[in-house]
A and B are shown apart, each in its own frame.
Chain A
Amino acid sequence: MAIDREQLLHVASLARLELREEEVERLGAQLNDILAAVSKVSELDLSDVPPTSHPLDLVNVWGADEPRPSFSVEDALVNAPERDGDSFRVPPAGS
C-alpha cells in the first residue's frame, strides 16, 4: 500500500516532524519501499496466534513504596536548553 504526499505529511505531523520539501520527496519514496517490504507480514494467516509484546513471561511484582533521594532541581534543570528560575522555559503555545 503506497502512501501519498498528503498521508506522509499527516504522519509527520502526528510525529511532530517538520519535513522540508526535499525530505518529503526523498523520505517519502524510501518510506514506500520500506512499507512494501514490511507488508510481507500480511501474507500469513495468524488469526489464531496470540501476539507477543515482550519476550519474557514476566509477572507483575509489587515493591514497597520507599522514599529515596531524587534529583535536585538544579540537576533536573542543568541540561535545559532554556530555563527561567526553577522552570523550563518554552516558547508560547500557538493560536
Chain B
Amino acid sequence: MIDTLTLTAEEAQRLLRDGEISGAELFAAYAEAIGERDPELHCYLHLCDDPGGDGIPIAVKDVIGTRGIPTTAGSRILQGYVPVYDATVVSRLKSHGLRILGKTNTDEFAMGSSTENSAFGPTRNPWDPSRVPGGSGGGSAAAVAAGLAPWALGSDTGGSIKQPAALCGNVGLRPTYGTVSRFGIVAFASSLDQVGPVARTVRDCAYLYSIIAGRDPCDTTTVELPQPVALPEGDDLEGLRVGVPKELNEAEGAEPGVTAAVRRAIDLCGELGAHVGECELPLSVEYGLPCYYLIAPAEASSNLARYDGVRYGFRATDAADRLDMYRRTRDEGFGDEPKRRILVGTYALSAGYYEAYYGQAQRVRTVIRREHDAAFERFDVLVSPTSPTVAFPLGARTADPLAMYLSDLLTIPSCLAGLPGLNVPCGLSDGLPVGLQLIGPQFGENTLFRVGHALEQALGFDPVPPRLRA
C-alpha cells in the first residue's frame, strides 16, 4: 500500500530501484489519490495518462509548455492550445524518466497570489478548503501538500513558488535568476520569471533543482551553475552567518502567529551553531512592491502582446475586421488581472511617462540590489517570514487588487534582486502552516539547502494536513 500523503520522491525512488513497487503501481497510486481528493481541491487543470516507464511521477504548472498536452496558463485565451514542443525543463524531466501526472492550476498568466485568478476556477488549500493555497502556483503547492504528486514544478516572478509553498506547508525554491531555462514557458515578466521545484522535503527540492538547472542554448539568459548541486546531509549550522533583516521581520500586517513561529526558527538557527545578527534593507521593503508593480506589468504588457488570435489560442468570432478581431479577442480572452497589468504596463511604458514610471522603477531596482549585496557582505543567508499571513479565506482579497498585491510584500524584494529564495515550513498558526523564507546570494542555493535541511530536521514539521489523514 503506497501512502502518497507521506511518500517523498527520494523514498519513491528507493522503492522503485529495489523493485518493491513498479512505476505503473506508483503512477496509479497518485491517479487514485487525485481521483479521490482533486474534485474538492482542484489542483489539476489537465490529467495525463501514464506514459509508462519506471520513473517518479511529477506535476507541472500549467504555464510550462508540454508537447501534446494542453497548456493554458490558467487563461481562456489559451484554452485548447496544445504545444508542439516541450519546454527545456520538461525535456529534462523526461530524460530523467520522470512522468507527468498532469498540469496544475495557476492564476491566469501566473498573475496573482491566491490562484483565484485562474479562468478555470480556484484551487483550495488542503489544510482548510475554505482558504486559498496561495499563488500563482497554488495548484502545484496544494497537489504536493495533498499527496496528489510527490513533487512539482512551479514558476516564480514575485513569489509564485515561495508564497504558495508557505501557505500549503511545503518546500519551494525560487532559483537564482538565470539558472533554469525558460524556453517553452509562457512568459510573464522576463527579467523576473524563474522556474523552480516544489517538494515535501528540502532534499527532494534540491534533487529536482539539480535536474532542471544549467545552461540551455535555447535560453540565452541561462548560465552554468558555478558549482554542482549538493544534496544536504548535515544537521548543524556551525560557522554560518544568519542575517535577520529588520524590515522583512517587522513588516506591518504580519500576523503574530507568523512572527512567533519564524522567531522560534531563527532562535533554532542559533542553537544549531549559527551566528545570528540583525541587518537592514531600508528601502527594499518599502519600495519593492511599487517597483515590482511597475516592472512586472510593463514587461507583461509587452509579452502578452503575442495573444492576438492569429496563430493559436482563442479568437473572437464575427469580427468586422482585423483590428476588431484583435481587440475583441483580447477583451474576451483575458481576465481582469492580465487586463489591469496590460493597462498599467502600457501606460508606464508610453511616451511621456516612461522615465517617471518604468525608468524610475529600474533605478529603484538597482538600489534594492545594492542593499542586498551589502547584507550579503556580512551574512551567508537572510531569514524572514515568506508570507505576512497564513492562508486567507477565498474571496477575502479578490475585490481589492492592492490588498492581493500585499501578499507578496516579503518575497518581492529578493526577486527583484535576482536572488534565490527557499520556503521551509516552520510551524503552525491557528492550525495553518507558516513559511520561513531563506534568501541567499546569487548562486547560493547549496547554502539554502543546507540551512533548510538542518532546520527541517530540528523542527520536525509534519507536512500532512490533519484533515486528510486516514
Q: Is the CB of B81 within 8 A of A58?
A: no
Given A18-B328, A40-B287, A94-B323, residue A79 in contact with residue B82 (CB < 8 A): yes
Number of B residues, CB within 8 Å of A? 72
Main secondary structure of the interface of A (DSSP, over half): loop
B241: shortest Cβ distance to chain A, in Å?
23
Contact with A along B364-399 (1 / 0, CB 8 A): 111101000000000000000000000000000000
Q: Is the CB of B360 within 8 A of A93?
A: no
B353 (CB) vs chain A CBs: closest residue: A1
Q: Is the CB of B363 within 8 A of A46?
A: yes
A-B contact count (CB 8 A): 179
Which residues of B lie under 8 Å from residue A37 when comparing CB positions?
A: 289-290, 293, 402, 405
Q: Is the CB of B343 within 8 A of A8?
A: yes
Q: Is the CB of B301 within 8 A of A15?
A: yes
B417 within 8 A of A: yes
Which residues of B lie under 8 Å from residue A53 when comparing CB positions?
A: 191, 362
Given A46-B367, A78-B84, residue A54 in contact with residue B331 (CB < 8 A): no
Measured CA separation A32–B296 after assembly (Å): 17
Given A44-B367, A71-B84, residue A79 in contact with residue B343 (CB < 8 A): no
User: In chain A between 1 and 37, which residues have their CB closer than 8 angstroms to a CB of chain B?
Assistant: 3, 7-8, 11-12, 14-20, 23, 27, 30-31, 33-35, 37
User: In chain B between 229 and 286, which residues have their CB closer than 8 angstroms to a CB of chain A?
Assistant: 283
B52 within 8 A of A: no
Measured CA separation A58–B363 after assembly (Å): 18
A40: shortest Cβ distance to chain B, in Å?
4
Measured CA separation A38–B357 after assembly (Å): 8
A75 within 8 A of B: yes
Partner of B343, one of A31, A88, A93: A31
Which residues of A lie under 8 Å from residue B442 when comparing CB positions?
A: 56
B155: shortest Cβ distance to chain A, in Å?
16
Contact with B along A44-55 (1 / 0, CB 8 A): 101001111111
B18 within 8 A of A: no
Which residues of B lie under 8 Å from residue A78 when comparing CB positions?
A: 82, 84
Residues of A at the B interface (CB closer than 8 Å) are 3, 7-8, 11-12, 14-20, 23, 27, 30-31, 33-35, 37-42, 44, 46, 49-56, 58, 61, 63, 71, 75-76, 78-82, 88, 90-95
Residues of B at the A interface (CB closer than 8 Å) are 80-82, 84-85, 177-178, 191, 217, 220-221, 223, 283, 287, 289-291, 293-294, 301, 305, 308-315, 319-328, 330-331, 334, 336, 339-340, 342-344, 346-348, 350, 356-357, 359-367, 369, 401-402, 405, 416-419, 442
